[in-house]
Amino acid sequence: MFDEIKKILCEYSETDPEEITENSRFIDDLGMNSYNIMCAVGDLEDTFDIEVNESDVANMRTVGDVVEYIKSKQN
């Protein structure tokens, strides 16, 4: 799952893929902004067949938060 998320994030962030970890923060480490975070959320929904509530997005600050969120949605 992490690799698939990383693949999506690489479409949005110019950070070297090797440097993306579960601890990477979207804004501070990956240089993303609210707009590309929301676009990436759309891609995650398509890839993992889940629905993400906009109000949940504010609580996702790191890649690890997204991994946990998707796991919780899939369970």
Partner 1 sequence: MSEKITYPLTPAQRMHFYTQMQCSNNPEVLNIATSVLLNGDMDFETLRNSFFMTYDRYEAAHIRFSKDKSGDIFQYISNEPMNEPEFLDFKLWGKTQEDAEAELKRLAAVPFERFDTQMFRVYFLKMPNGYTGVFFVVDHMVCDSSSIIVFLGDVIEIYCNKLYDTPFPKELRSYTQALKKDLKYTGSKAEELDRIFWEETVLKDEPLFTDILGPARLDQTRKETGNPYKRSAKVTSPSVQADICTFSLEEEPSNRLIDYCKQKNVPMVCLLLSGLRTYLSKFNRYAEDISVKTTVSRRGTILERKSGGTRIHFFPFRMQFSNSMKYIDSIRKIQEMQNKIFRHANYDPIKLNVEIAKRFGNQPGESYDSVSLTYQPMSMRESNDMLKDIDYEARWISNGVAAQPYYLTVMHNPETHGLDFFWEYQKGAATPDQLEYIYYYLCKILFEVIEDDERTINEIIETV
Binding site for partner 1 (CB under 8 A): 11-14, 33-36, 38-42, 54-55, 57-58, 61
| β-bridge partners, 62 | 25
Choice between 52 and 70, CB closer to partner 1: 52
Find the shortest distance in angstroms from Cβ 29 to partner 1: 14
Residue that the structure tokens 């992490």 belong to:
2
CA torsion angle for 15, 1, 64, 37 (degrees, to 10)? 60
Choice between 39 and 67, CB closer to partner 1: 39
Find the shortest distance in angstroms from Cβ 10 to partner 1: 8
Contact 13, 30 (CB under 8 A): yes
